[in-house]
Chains A and B, each alone.
Chain A
Amino acid sequence: MNAQEKTLYDEIQEIRALYPVSRSATLPALRLAQERYGWLSPDAFRSVADALDETPAYCMSVASFYDMYHLKPVGRHLVEVCTNVSCALVGAQQVLEAFQSELGVHAGETTEDGEVTLRTVECAGGCGWGTVVAVDHRYREPVRAEDVPAIVEELRRGR
């Protein structure tokens, strides 16, 4: 077990102690592992399972239920465009198309250099300020198609 994994293990133990039943720590532990590994790789599942006395299969069965866990590698940056009704009414399609053309990928894909994953998400909860775009989990509201080049430029510069 390397040093990084030991820290993850210890961190998961701290979370575990917050709950009367340790299985409750599954979601936060998966989140921590994903932050460490970039995605929920087989190694990530093994680490979580070890730390919680669960099986990797159990952890995967839980992770596959939730949209925020990445079961495949993703880019260093994550761009999520809400396309639910409120955002769609005020131009989410055009915002998404602008990201697709600026990044050269479709929703659900990662740029060739592995930098940016673009995806569409269901209602992000910023409906009055649509279109909502989450860049690395920070909401930008509202985003219009003409704002997209600057956001992509910012990501490309690695800010």
Chain B
Amino acid sequence: MAAEQFVVLAGAEEHALTKLADYREAGGFEALAKARLMEPAQVVQEILDSGLRGRGGAFFPTGRKASFLAKGTGKPTYLVVNADESEPGTFKDREIMFRVPHRLIEGCLITAHAIECERVFIYIRGEYLTEFEILRAALEEVRGADLLGGVTVVLHRGAGAYICGEETALLESLEGKRGQPRTKPPFPAIAGLYASPSLINNVETIATVPKIVELGAKEYAKIGVPPDSSGTRVFSLSGNVVNGGNYELPMGVTLRELIYDLGGGIPGGRQLKAVIPGGSSVPVLTADQIDVPLDAHSMAEAGSMLGSGAIIVMDDRCCMVQLGLRVAQFYMHESCGKCTPCREGTRWMVQILEAIEAGTASEGELELLLDVCDRILGKCLCPLGDAAAMPVASYIDKFRIEFQEHLESGCPMRGESTLEHVLAPVDQHTHDPVAEVPA
């Protein structure tokens, strides 16, 4: 039976470690002291050797990303922590900030040393008020204990925009602009925040760094499924499952172990229908695919991705057309509007899915929907368009019969689906601009 393995959340198994003294008792800040005795390049090498990959969803090797940073530009280097967690189904970074805020700060300070940076920005999603307060208090304690070592850490709160989790949109937002992604190149490692070399890493990634320094890269790399999926992930489990919540597990545990052994299975004696394994933007898996291990290679072979590590479980009452509609509504709402395939395509997806769900779509519209998805995939500036098209195309692929039934005789669930009357947020910004522009 799979068991949790606490690396990022170590020491906080029973209670949140929100006091510096408690964190230090659990060995906190020893890794920082150790790292500061090492040459910066040596710390980057440790991160490289550990096999750590980005935990935000892209899974890019963290050490390599750090090694891309431009040197000798005469400009400061910035570290930006992406705490703008908002991929539907994901709530792990919130748990990390809530339970081990000092570990995130320690990770920032170690990484700052590694990349020779004096200013760190933590961009935390605006809705996470409690976590912001916890992090602010932890930062005050660290400052009071003289541990910052000349590094300035600024907590910057977002204001409600999913797209700001995309790293260049995040930089725009941090610069006080609308959060629209930039064209790449230049990559942030060359020209990021304020056109300076910048490293942007997810909360979980940075919070793993102290443990890598503490254990040593070699030991850390043995956890999970080396060489590509070393380490643990804090998996967020939600949907139709008995014990929803976050579970830190070595990569390689199967979906079945997570859902049934740790998650307690499906409530109410229902049958499992489908699983989203990495946040709402990844392709769906069917009930007969849950023996796939949660590691990058196995997930790719199964036709999906680990993404942000968010597992959404759906039982047999979930209408897949409604699921597609709700997912498409989300990405339509969050599309920044900068590039056409995403801005227009997500709207087309919603309209066609509404017609399919209502039973008014013609046979050709299912093909039209797939065609729209195809015209979005790989044709946008940032991954948001793909995030809408990829999952919806997978629902049609895996549940084509259900889509066909909708075309022939309307929703087969006959009003009994758990997602019935799926409600996208009403537009908060419908207003009369003329009446409100300040004179």
- Please list the residues of chain A having a beta carbon within 8 angstroms of any beta carbon in chain B: 18-21, 23-28, 30-31, 42-43, 45-46, 49, 56-57, 60-72, 83-86, 88-93, 96, 106-108, 119-130, 134, 137-139
What is the distance, in angstroms, from B316's C-beta to the closest C-beta of chain A? 12
A118 to B231, CA, bound (A): 42
Q: In the complex, what residues of A have CB within 8 A of residue B437's CB?
A: 42, 56-57, 60
B221: min CB distance to chain A, Å: 29
Q: How near does chain B come to A29, taking the closest CB pair, in angstroms? A: 9
Interface check B379, CB cutoff 8 A: no
* Contact between B176 and A62, CB atoms less than 8 A apart: yes
Complex-state Cα separation, A84 to B350, whole angstroms: 15
Across-interface contacts of B39 in A (CB, < 8 A): none
B233 at the interface (CB under 8 A from A): no
Hey, which chain B residues are within 8 Å of A70, CB to CB? Answer: 428
Supplied contacts A62-B176, A71-B436, 15 more A-B pairs, CB within 8 Å? A21-B194, A26-B176, A31-B157, A65-B161, A67-B429, A68-B127, A71-B429, A71-B431, A93-B420, A107-B426, A123-B86, A125-B91, A129-B244, A137-B129, A138-B130
CB distance from A72 to the nearest CB of B (A): 6
The answer for the CA separation of A104 and B163 in the assembled complex, in Å, is 33
A66 and B160 in contact, given A96-B423, A127-B244 (Cβ under 8 angstroms): yes
The smallest C-beta distance from B125 to any residue of chain A, in angstroms, reads 7
Contact in complex: B428, A84 (CB < 8 Å):
no
Nearest-Cβ distance from residue B317 to partner chain A, whole angstroms: 9
Determine if B158 and A27 form an interchain contact, defined as CB atoms under 8 angstroms apart: yes
Which 6 A-B pairs give the minimum distances between C-beta atoms?
A128-B244, A67-B160, A26-B176, A127-B238, A68-B160, A66-B159
Report how many residues on chain B are interfacial, defined by Cβ distance under 8 Å: 71
| B434 vs chain A, min Cβ distance (A) | 12
Q: Is the CB of B423 within 8 A of A85?
A: no
**Are B334 and A128 closer than 8 Å at their CB atoms?**
no
User: Which chain B residues lie closer than 8 Å to A64 at the CB level?
Assistant: 429
Confirm or deny: B411 has a beta carbon within 8 angstroms of a beta carbon on chain A. no
Q: Does B94 have its Cβ within 8 Å of any Cβ on chain A?
A: yes
Interface: B175 (CB within 8 A) = yes
For the residues of B in contact with A, the DSSP-based class is loop
Taking CB as reference atom, which chain B residue is nearest A132? Answer: B91
**Bound form: Cα–Cα A120–B330 in Å:** 12
Asked whether, in the complex, the Cβ of B423 is within 8 Å of the Cβ of A89, the reply is no
Interface on B for A, CB 8 Å cutoff? Answer: 76, 85-91, 94, 119, 125-130, 154, 156-162, 173-180, 194, 236-240, 244-246, 276, 280, 310, 312, 314, 318, 323, 326-327, 330, 333-334, 336, 418-429, 431, 436-439
Q: Within the assembled complex, what's the spacing in Å between the Cα atoms of A96 and B81?
A: 34
In the bound complex, do residue A122 and residue B130 qualify as a contact, i.e. CB atoms below 8 Å apart?
A: no
Measured between beta carbons, the chain A residues less than 8 angstroms from B179 are 65-66
Bound CA–CA A25/B425 (angstroms): 28
CB nearest to B235 among chain A residues: A128
Contacts of A138 in B (CB 8 A): 129-130
> Do the beta carbons of B127 and A124 come within 8 Å of each other?
yes
Q: Are B127 and A119 in contact (CB under 8 A)?
A: no
A85-B280, A125-B125, A125-B127 in contact; A30/B436 too (CB < 8 A)? no
Which residues of B sit under 8 angstroms from A90, Cβ to Cβ?
239-240, 418
A106 vs B90: C-alpha distance in the bound complex, in angstroms?
28
Q: How far is the CA of A35 from the CA of B238 in the complex (A)?
A: 33
Whether the pair A122, B194 counts as a contact (CB closer than 8 A) is: no
Instruction: Evaluate contact between A108 and B426: CB separation under 8 angstroms.
Output: yes
CB neighbours of B436 from chain A (8 A): 42, 60, 71
Asked if B90 and A127 make an inter-chain contact with CB atoms under 8 angstroms apart, the answer reads: yes
Could you tell me if B421 and A93 are in contact, using CB atoms closer than 8 angstroms?
A: yes
B322 to chain A: closest residue by CB? A88
What are 6 A-B contacts with C-beta separation under 8 Å? A18-B154, A65-B336, A67-B160, A85-B327, A122-B86, A125-B94
Query: Do A24 and B245 touch (CB < 8 A)?
Result: no
Known: A65-B179, A83-B423, A88-B326. A122 touches B438 (CB 8 A): no
A93→B158 CA distance, assembly (Å) = 27
Chain A residue with the shortest CB-CB distance to B247: A128
**For residue A31, which residues in chain B have a CB less than 8 angstroms away from its CB?**
126, 157, 159
A139 partner, pick from B130, B156, B175, beta carbons under 8 A: B130
Q: State how many angstroms separate the Cβ of B242 from the closest Cβ of chain A.
A: 11
Residue of B157, B428, B437 ringed by the most chain A CB atoms within 10 A: B428
Shortest distance between the CB of B357 and any CB in chain A (Å): 14
Distance between A50 CB and nearest chain B CB, rounded to angstroms: 11
Contact B419 A27 (CB under 8 A): no
Bound together, the chains give a CA A138 to CA B131 distance in angstroms of: 10
Report the Cα distance A64→B85, complex, angstroms: 21
Q: Please give me the residue from chain B that is nearest to A24 by CB atom.
A: B176
